Structure 1
Amino acid sequence: MKVDQTVLAVDLGGTKILISEVQANGELLAPHKYRSDVTSQTTAYAGIVQAIEQFLMQAPDVKRIMAISVSAVGRINTASGEWYELDPERAVDIPLAQQLSDRFKLPVFAANDVYCATLAENMLGVGNVTNDFLYLNVGTGIAGRIVNNGQILNGSHFDAGEIGHMVVDYNSPVRCICGRRGCVEPLASGLGMSNRAQELMAQGQPTELTVDEHGRVPVPALFQGYEHQDLVAQTVVDQALRALAALIMNVVRVADPAAVILGGGVTTDGWLLHHLQPLLVEQTMRFVTVGIHNSQLDPNLIAIKGAALHGFQRMEMFDHESIS
């Protein structure tokens, strides 16, 4: 494979689309951001097409782009590139890779965003130390992937890793969007903690916390309030820490990973990990020999790098099949 060949990687987020040419070593070349609209898969797809068109108009050498690879939220068939759903309530089967390939006359691949982040971690991060780990993404939501013997477990319907919907508190008053009570995501994700704080604030509980211009209580403010003994912050963050600790220990018992890697925007400053570790029972964690660590990869770039790596992997498979 030529050194100057690149994959055009696309990372669809809730508010932006990040696009960059990426080399095989994971280096990004002139990334650009564009606005996204994830009201539906149809609007999201239209935004992806428009963003790619704008990027290609400015690209210095489109001939070196060998493929397009997309990272997006939702359930995606990593083999065919079919995008089954944004979430269970917004499910429209879109042949994402095929439609983009027809449009741009290039091979196109697609995968779930947390799958892509896990792939980047596997190839550029902790995967260089162990072949068995749990990648746990704690951001607006919570999801993860288990890597076993170097392979990412994807599930029979490409729905593996939705561990934000594992119940960790059967007595919790907090109802999840999935319909159950006590799922870890509404207790411990960035959005979940914000919602929980606002519920307590609406009940008149005294607090110094405020809602920002986006209508949320920022996670850093919650962590700071916890340290300053703000009662609302302490209630919300304590619930979140205990929920995450229970989740991690449950998955450790199921998967027996050598490492647990935390990623996502909630984990970036190390505060969460520092306060999680005392809640993890030594007997349960004794075989996590590499330890529990924050990802060393940039949380803003890990998914787009993983998307590119997915593209390079798939192109190598196609090259091998064409030779054989």
Structure 2
Amino acid sequence: MKTILSIDLGGTKVMIGEVTVEGQVLAHKKYPSVVTSQKKALETIKEALVDYQKTVGFIGEIQGMGVALVGRVNYQTGIWIEIHPELSEEIDVVQELQKIVSVPCFLANDVYCASLAELEHGFGNLTKNFVYLNIGTGIAARMVIEGQIIAGNHYDAGEIGHMVVDINSQIPCICGRYGCSEVLASGLGMSNRIKQLALDYPTSIFHREYQGDERVATEEIFDAYDQGDKLAQVVIDQALKTVAAVIMNLVRTCDPDGFVLGGGVVLNGWFLEKLQPYLSKKTNRFLSQGIAITTLDTRYITLIGCSILVQKGLVQFNV
């Protein structure tokens, strides 16, 4: 049986799995990740890969290795360019990983890989023109036009977390601008907004001082919103307006047939239900496939995308 070794680097975990060419995940294992630098992140991946071989092993005949990474990735050369502008150090990930598992190796951005999975096994069965929008710890998207995922000349297309939606905002983003969608509507962004405004709302359940990197869970904010918590309502309403603006901006930019949403913020359907009143029917009149939550198993969507990346790479580069 021919299989693909898939590796998904996230902000808090590395997941390694073995996937069939049809997209079935045969085995997987999770490890904690470190993304404070690219070098540390790569060492985390390498250590996890060695452990996976020892503790899980391979079930099938490994045809290649696919790696999904956060940030900018040159999928043509196998170079990981940067996590974000403040963490930039070009690394030949392919060369490093092939020292451990000697098979053809291909890598791409994590949202790019998830979009590949949607294109082949999910929303792509409805249309070849759509936007995959991931709202989790951060916000990012990929535009699929006529069955092709737009990567961009600098492998940065779709980073709509840095689309400014509030030109009067004083909330800074790591990209150097203010009022970006990620700082207002991502899981981390909403958590930060709660912490920033907590002392201004004495009756809020979040009214206290927060320390360091302490995180307010998205589910807690949603529950507080439903209970009438004023601070939660301010933060969530701003997030809903932000995501609505992003979607409608992308409608006007790339004219898709629909949007498919992924990421922890949207998966239970609560956010999408609350989003509807903020969307203009006139703007979205051409969304024949609407706005839907992914039907793929989000635990494995990126691993599956990695397997597709490898299969396409083997054909493209005649490996």
TM-score (normalised: structure 1): 0.94
Identity of aligned residues (%): 46
1:36–1:47 contact (8 Å) kept in structure 2: yes
C-alpha displacement of 1:215: 1.3
Report the AA paired with residue 208 of structure 1: I
- The within-5 A match list for 1:231-246 is 231-246=230-245
1:259–1:292 contact (8 Å) kept in structure 2: yes
Equivalent in the alignment of 1:279:
278
Find the aligned partners of 2:59 and 2:91 in 1 and give their Cα distance: 26
Equivalent in the alignment of 2:33:
36
C-alpha displacement of 1:304: 1.3
C-alpha displacement of 1:213: 11
Find the aligned partners of 1:61 and 1:302 in 2 and give their Cα distance: 20
Find the aligned partners of 1:271 and 1:63 in 2 and give their Cα distance: 40
Report the AA paired with residue 185 of structure 2: A
Deviations 1:107-151 (A, max 9, x none): 111110000111111111010110000111000000000000000
Find the aligned partners of 1:276 and 1:298 in 2 and give their Cα distance: 23
Find the aligned partners of 1:63 and 1:298 in 2 and give their Cα distance: 22
Find the aligned partners of 1:23 and 1:139 in 2 and give their Cα distance: 27
Equivalent in the alignment of 2:246:
247
Equivalent in the alignment of 1:263:
262
C-alpha displacement of 1:179: 2.0
1:205–1:232 contact (8 Å) kept in structure 2: no
1:260 alignment partner, SS class = strand
* 70-79 vs 93-102, which moves further: 93-102
Find the aligned partners of 1:173 and 1:265 in 2 and give their Cα distance: 26
Equivalent in the alignment of 1:90:
87
Indicate the structure with greater strand content: 2
Report the AA paired with residue 183 of structure 1: C
C-alpha displacement of 1:19: 0.5
1:91 alignment partner, SS class = strand
Indicate the structure with greater helix content: 1
Q: Give structure 1 stretches of 5+ with no counterpart.
A: none
Equivalent in the alignment of 2:155:
158
Deviations 1:189-219 (A, max 9, x none): 0000000011111335430137799711111
1:212–1:218 contact (8 Å) kept in structure 2: no
1:94 alignment partner, SS class = strand
Deviations 1:142-186 (A, max 9, x none): 000000000000000100011011111112232212221211110
Find the aligned partners of 1:287 and 1:307 in 2 and give their Cα distance: 31
Match of 2:130 among 133, 144, 147: 133
Equivalent in the alignment of 1:310:
309
2:251–2:283 contact (8 Å) kept in structure 1: yes
Equivalent in the alignment of 1:297:
296
- The within-5 A match list for 1:36-115 is 36-61=33-58, 64-115=61-112
- The within-5 A match list for 1:4-43 is 4-43=1-40
Find the aligned partners of 2:73 and 2:270 in 1 and give their Cα distance: 32
Deviations 1:201-243 (A, max 9, x none): 1335430137799711111111111111101000000000001
Equivalent in the alignment of 2:180:
183
Report the AA paired with residue 111 of structure 1: A
Find the aligned partners of 1:224 and 1:193 in 2 and give their Cα distance: 14
Find the aligned partners of 1:61 and 1:207 in 2 and give their Cα distance: 51
2:201–2:230 contact (8 Å) kept in structure 1: no
1:67–1:311 contact (8 Å) kept in structure 2: yes
Q: Give structure 2 stretches of 5+ with no counterpart.
A: none
2:27 alignment partner, SS class = strand
